[in-house]
């Protein structure tokens, strides 16, 4: 196949994919709407702009995102090499000078003879048969988002409402009891944290008083329409939560036979029960406030380890397991691939990784061979597992995710302690990745 590949979006995923394709000898047209038009969060003129924090998070491979850094470096990632070259001191985090980082990515892309930069907004999806990658990110411009929405039959979302996730072994099982509402499912699918009236009232008061993240100007209107943070529900009346996400009906505590005044329901994030989601607890409380309020006022969470904290923010993403084939192409338009945050991965590094995955899939398609996904035990494989719904529990909604060890397949054998489990994940990933390196 000799046609050029079109990439829409010169962010982290689009630049990474363009680089990987060009390095493999493929000609690319890379469309970026800046500087003529900007999303509400983008400010600079360069490619690969980091719109918020300047940190690509932990660089320690015993952290899942640090492991992803390591894999991306081994695969010749443009983004990681530019991040390393513009690094600033930040402990074990990989933080960068954002201006120099974006300038360096731009310079390398401009210097790549097989990439042609087109500074224009894409208002339509490219028609086939030439292959194209859509990597327009969490703030995809409206016209294009509407076309993707039409192709996905409504499975494109504009907001993320993320509830916190806690590590299973940090929940106090003397307090939590296993039960699903009215004993549905296998009867004990959920963990429940019971609250009496005083505990509930103290919790609601803390939610109301707690410090919140101010919404961006472009978020407010639609955020109140679509996905209500728990503190917004609490503002509507003192009992609203007890009749909503903290409803105790059908959740009698088997140890007392009585129904608590309110409950916090925890739903499994993975089959092994290493991670549990606080159902309905999407929130705009600041992260320190979430830790303080949840650990001090929710019974059973005093020693909780948060694998993810809650947030509500603008984010354009598709329900990847339903609308994407395993090679990240749209089932409805197989010549169109999706990459980056629009697929439902979350964060700078994950979006970069997903851009790299999409480029590998495009190379396989062009070569007429089936897509070879990354080995499951690697960090890239864990992202791919997430995007294809493997490891997802039936009946749970698809939600964007950072790379975390609970996305990885369960480890074999019994390993005692978190450090031992992290080390085993790293060992397995390092053993498996070479199978996939070109």
Distance separating alpha carbons of residues 210 and 290, to the nearest angstrom = 8
291 scored as a contact of ligand FAD (CB under 6 A): no
14 scored as a contact of ligand FAD (CB under 6 A): yes
Beta carbon nearer to ligand FAD, 245 or 339: 339
13 scored as a contact of ligand FAD (CB under 6 A): yes
Find the binding residues for ligand FAD in span 39-78 (CB under 6 A). 39, 41-42, 51-53
Beta carbon nearer to ligand FAD, 195 or 307: 307
Please spell the DSSP secondary structure of 187-201, one letter per residue: S--SEEEEE-HHHHH
We find the least distance from the C-beta atom of residue 308 to ligand FAD, in angstroms, to be 13
Which of 11, 168, 194, 391 contacts ligand FAD by CB under 6 A? 11
How far from the centroid of its chain's Cα atoms is residue 393's Cα?
17
Give the helix/strand (H/E) hosting 1.
none
Contacts (Cβ under 8 Å, ≥6 apart) of 372: 360, 364, 436
Which of 164, 194, 210, 340 contacts ligand FAD by CB under 6 A? 340
Which of 5, 6, 7, 8 contacts ligand FAD by CB under 6 A? 8
We find the least distance from the C-beta atom of residue 297 to ligand FAD, in angstroms, to be 27
The pair of three-digit structure tokens given for residue 157, joined into one six-digit string: 């979302």
Beta carbon nearer to ligand FAD, 30 or 171: 30
Q: Which residue is nearest to ligand FAD (CB)?
A: 11
In 210-319, which ranges are continuous DSSP H helix?
220-226, 230-235, 287-297
Beta carbon nearer to ligand FAD, 50 or 171: 50
In 130-188, which ranges are continuous DSSP H helix?
142-151
Beta carbon nearer to ligand FAD, 143 or 367: 143
Question: What phi and psi, each to the nearest 5 degrees, are found at residue 382?
Answer: -65, -40
302 scored as a contact of ligand FAD (CB under 6 A): no
Which of 106, 146, 98, 103 lies closest to 122 in space, CA to CA? 146
Helix (H, G, I), strand (E, B) or coil at 270: coil
**Binding pattern to ligand FAD, positions 112-141, x when CB under 6 A?**
---------xx------------xxxxxxx
Distance separating alpha carbons of residues 407 and 376, to the nearest angstrom = 10
Find the binding residues for ligand FAD in span 383-402 (CB under 6 A). none
Which of 5, 6, 19, 34 contacts ligand FAD by CB under 6 A? 34
Give the strand pairing for 165-167 and 306-308.
antiparallel
In this structure, the chain runs to a length of: 438
Beta carbon nearer to ligand FAD, 89 or 217: 217
Contacts (Cβ under 8 Å, ≥6 apart) of 192: 176, 177, 178, 179, 251, 253, 260, 263, 264, 265, 266
Which of 94, 104, 144, 426 contacts ligand FAD by CB under 6 A? 144
Distance separating alpha carbons of residues 353 and 360, to the nearest angstrom = 11
Beta carbon nearer to ligand FAD, 98 or 428: 98
Give the helix/strand (H/E) hosting 161.
strand 156-162
We find the least distance from the C-beta atom of residue 13 to ligand FAD, in angstroms, to be 3
Hey, how many other C-beta atoms are within 10 angstroms of the C-beta on 428? 19
Contact range with ligand FAD by CB under 6 A, out of 93-101, 344-352, 380-388, 391-399: 344-352
Beta carbon nearer to ligand FAD, 41 or 178: 41
Which 8-state DSSP code applies to residue 302?
A: T
Contacts (Cβ under 8 Å, ≥6 apart) of 166: 266, 275, 276, 278, 301, 304, 305, 306, 307
Distance separating alpha carbons of residues 222 and 230, to the nearest angstrom = 16
**Binding pattern to ligand FAD, positions 178-217, x when CB under 6 A?**
--------------------------------------x-
Beta carbon nearer to ligand FAD, 7 or 171: 7
The site for ligand FAD, by CB under 6 A, has a size of 35
347 scored as a contact of ligand FAD (CB under 6 A): yes
Beta carbon nearer to ligand FAD, 9 or 168: 9
Residues at the site binding ligand FAD, with contacts judged by CB under 6 A? 8-14, 31-34, 39, 41-42, 51-53, 121-122, 135-141, 144, 216, 314, 340-342, 347-348, 351
């Amino acid at each position: 196949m000799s046609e050029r590949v079109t990439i829409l979006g010169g962010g982290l995923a689009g630049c990474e994919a363009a680089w990987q394709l060009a390095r493999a000898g493929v000609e690319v047209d890379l469309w970026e709407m800046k500087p003529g038009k900007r999303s509400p969060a983008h400010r600079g003129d360069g490619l690969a702009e980091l719109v918020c924090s300047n940190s690509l998070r932990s660089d320690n491979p015993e952290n899942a995102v640090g492991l992803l850094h390591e894999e991306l470096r081994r695969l010749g990632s443009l983004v990681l090499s530019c991040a390393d070259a513009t690094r600033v001191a930040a402990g074990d985090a990989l933080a960068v000078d954002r201006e120099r980082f974006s300038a360096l990515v731009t310079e390398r892309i401009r210097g790549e003879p097989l990439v042609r930069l087109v500074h224009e907004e894409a208002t339509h999806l490219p028609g086939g048969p030439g292959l194209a990658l859509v990597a327009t990110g969490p703030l995809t411009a409206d016209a294009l988002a509407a076309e993707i929405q039409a192709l996905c039959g409504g499975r494109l979302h504009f907001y993320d409402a993320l509830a916190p996730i806690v590590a299973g072994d940090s929940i106090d099982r003397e307090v939590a009891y296993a039960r699903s509402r009215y004993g549905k499912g296998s009867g004990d699918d959920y963990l429940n944290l019971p609250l009496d009236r005083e505990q509930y009232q103290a919790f609601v008061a803390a939610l109301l008083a707690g410090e919140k993240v101010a919404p961006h100007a472009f978020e407010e209107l639609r955020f109140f329409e679509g996905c209500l943070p728990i503190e917004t529900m609490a503002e509507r009346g003192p009992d609203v939560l007890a009749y909503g996400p903290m409803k105790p009906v059908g959740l009698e505590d088997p140890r007392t036979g009585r129904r608590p005044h309110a409950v916090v329901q925890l739903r499994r994030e993975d089959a092994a029960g290493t991670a549990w989601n606080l159902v309905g607890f999407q929130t705009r409380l600041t992260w320190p406030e979430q830790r303080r309020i949840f650990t001090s006022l929710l019974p059973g969470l005093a020693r909780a380890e948060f694998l993810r904290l809650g947030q509500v923010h603008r984010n354009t993403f598709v329900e990847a397991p339903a609308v994407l084939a395993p090679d990240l192409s749209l089932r409805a338009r197989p010549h169109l691939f999706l990459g980056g945050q629009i697929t439902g991965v979350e964060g700078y590094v994950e979006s970069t990784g997903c851009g790299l995955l999409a480029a590998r899939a495009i190379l396989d398609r062009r070569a007429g061979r089936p897509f070879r996904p990354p080995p499951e035990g690697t960090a890239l494989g864990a992202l791919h597992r997430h995007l294809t719904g493997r490891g997802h529990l039936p009946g749970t909604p698809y939600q964007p995710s950072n790379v975390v060890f609970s996305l990885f397949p369960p480890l074999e054998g019994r390993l005692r302690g978190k450090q031992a489990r992290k080390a085993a994940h790293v060992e397995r990933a390092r053993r498996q990745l070479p199978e996939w390196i070109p």
